[in-house]
Amino acid sequence: MNLKQTIEEIVEKHLPDDSHFIVEIQIKDKGPKKVLNILIDGDQGVNIESCAAVSRAVGEELEAKQLIDGAYVMEVSSPGLDYPLGSRRQYQKNVGRSMRVHLQDGKELEGKLAKVGQTEIVLLVKKKEKGKKAAEEEVSVAFEQIKKSIVLVSFK
């Protein structure tokens, strides 16, 4: 098992509860130090107390097991709004929100996330026709067709 997988297992057991999940773990070399970035999220969001608790518990276990040689910096946070969605669970959490989906073929869709299935998402996309009011059309997109999805922020 490599270091990233080991850290993932450690983080998993220190999450506050089953409503929290790992989004991404990155280990980067920045000069003489390693930087360990841990992104966590929750079905109802994640707060700073949860991030701090995970950081303390994971840090203590990493030190006790001496898994990282030398100095390192660990950052535990939640993904920002502009962070691309990566898992089915993240999509599920954002049902009802507007998003921009970049497809593998270079096309782009924008609409409201209506449903999340096992293998696809369904977007409500506004379709404009000349002289008519814009109608919404359901567009199904398979996960493997998605290159990147971003939740759009509305200030209305």
In the chain, count of helices (H) and strands (E)?
A: 3, 8
Segment 31-77, tens digit of pLDDT: 888 999 999 999 998 999 999 999 999 999 999 999 988 889 999 99
Q: pLDDT per residue over 70-96, tens digit each?
A: 889 999 999 988 899 989 999 999 999
Name all domains of the chain by residue range, CATH numbers in brackets: 3-77 (3.30.300.70), 88-151 (2.30.30.100)
d(CA 40, CA 53): 12
